[in-house]
Amino acid sequence: MTDQLLIDTANQLFAATCTHAAVQDAERDGWAPDVWRTIAEAGFPWVSIAESVGGSGGTLTDAAAIIRIAGGYAAPVPLAETAMLGGWLASMAGLPLPGGPATVVPGQPGDTLGLSGGAVSGRALRVPWGGKAERVVALLPDGDGWVVASMAVGAASVEPGTNLAGEPRDTLVFDRAAADIVPAPAGVDPDALRQRGALARALMMAGALDRMSRLTVEYTRQRRQFGRPVAQFQAVQQHLVHGAQEAAIVTMAAEAAAAAAERGSAVFEIAAAKVLAGQAAASATRAAHQAHGAMGMTQEYPLQHLSRRLWSWRREHGDDAWWSARLGRASAAAGADLLYPSITGGSRVVTV
């Protein structure tokens, strides 16, 4: 269990820095220096990374709690990329951790990034905050195995891009760039990276769904039509209840997945969490927008910070259909007699 003090601190810091204006400005500028400075001072981007390699210490569950809370505030910084993805790859490979923001090459069809003669060349697509990070960490093929490569972003040319939420998703182009290159240790491969990416997005989506549910309850209790708050209409209550349910089930699944990942194999739990999060990004977001009416379609109202992120994050590190097919193939292979035991035992029972 994560320390309540850490959770309270995270809530206070994100609430103070990730104001509506700050998130709007970050979308315009591609960076939120004040948000980053504040969470860096608190050590958040390096939680769960051992102090011996320059991290802040703490458990994966601690990092998961912070990342979930950050999702609820639409925090416009590469927190998950630094703490759970790029920083994780670097620390697993024993590479020095950058002090500033770090990011990761998520691995896209169309990437051409590769090793050549001890240097790194090629294109890496949709790198989160690729142009604003100081280091970018990638998994690159090398013979039959993989290497972890850490490059200074300054060595790349940046083709800016964004996701549907206006978060930077840049293309980085390297040409014989110097890199720290270390063979990937056992258990560090593109599938492990995708699992951690999916876990991070599921956690962020849980936070966003919870905040979206609360925002919708608050709005519909204030907004009056026909002489009473619209929250009193049964048809609107259906939207409110659906939003709260989806927030609850995704939060539960994402937290359980983080706990499982802390223990060991967690593919079942991560798959389930990303499936549920992706489905919620469709249905709960639709319900929240419907309950908000036209107000929810404006930039001035914060719903869009959450709904656009949910739509974007749903598609990153494997969408719900991809994870569902993977989970389903494993369930089919395990067979009928193991179907329920896998629902109670998860990764302890079935290999996904």
Partner 1 sequence: MRFEPTELTADELALQAEVRAFLEHELPRGGFEPGLGMGASRDPAFSKALAARGWVGMALPARYGGRDRSAVDRFVVVEELLRWGAPVGHHWVADRQSGPVINRFGTEAQKERFLPAICRGELSFSIGMSEPDSGSDLASVATRATRAQDGWLVNGTKIWTSGAYENDWFVVLCRTSEEEDRHRGLSQLLVDLHSDGLEVNPIPYLDGSSHFNEVVLNDVYVPDELVLGQPGMGWAQNTSELAYERGGPDRWLSTYVVVEQWLREHADSAAGERGSLLLGDVVARWWGLRQLSLSVARKIDRGEAPALESALVKEMGTRFEQDVLERVLQLVDLEPSAASASLFERLLAAAILTAPSFTIRGGTIEILRSVAAKGLEA
| Binding residues vs partner 1 (CB under 8 A) | 213-215, 217-218, 221, 231, 234, 237-238, 240-241, 244-245, 248-253, 255-256, 259, 268-269, 271-273, 275-276, 279, 321, 323-329, 331-333, 335-336, 339-340, 342-344, 346
- Calculate the dihedral angle through the C-alpha atoms of 265, 104, 22, 24, rounding to the nearest 10 degrees: -100
CB 18, min distance to partner 1, A:
18
- Calculate the dihedral angle through the C-alpha atoms of 163, 164, 166, 171, rounding to the nearest 10 degrees: 20
Helix (H) or strand (E) holding 139: strand 135-142
197 versus 278: smaller Cβ distance to partner 1? 278
81 versus 210: smaller Cβ distance to partner 1? 210
CB 150, min distance to partner 1, A:
34
Residue 159, helix vs strand vs coil = strand
18 versus 327: smaller Cβ distance to partner 1? 327
* DSSP secondary structure string for all residues of 5-36: HHHHHHHHHHHHH--HHHHHHHHHHS--HHHH
CB 17, min distance to partner 1, A:
22
Q: Which of the 8 DSSP states describes residue 81?
A: I
b/e map 170-196, b = 16+ CB within 10 Å: bbbbbeebebbbbebeeebeeebbbbb
CA atoms of 307 and 312, how far apart (whole Å): 9
CB 68, min distance to partner 1, A:
12
120 versus 203: smaller Cβ distance to partner 1? 203
CB 283, min distance to partner 1, A:
11
95 versus 257: smaller Cβ distance to partner 1? 257
112 versus 351: smaller Cβ distance to partner 1? 351
Joined tokens for residue 300? 């001035």
168 versus 243: smaller Cβ distance to partner 1? 243
Distances (CA, A) of 75 to 20, 202, 288: 10, 15, 20
Cross-strand partners of 49:
57
CB 19, min distance to partner 1, A:
18
Joined tokens for residue 96? 């020095």
34 versus 262: smaller Cβ distance to partner 1? 262
CA atoms of 1 and 58, how far apart (whole Å): 11
CB 305 within 8 A of CB 23: yes
176 versus 221: smaller Cβ distance to partner 1? 221
CB 118, min distance to partner 1, A:
42
Angle between helices 60-72 and 4-17 in degrees, nearest 10? 30
CB 98, min distance to partner 1, A:
33
∠ at Cα 305 (304, 311), nearest 5°?
75
CB 106, min distance to partner 1, A:
22
CA atoms of 274 and 263, how far apart (whole Å): 19
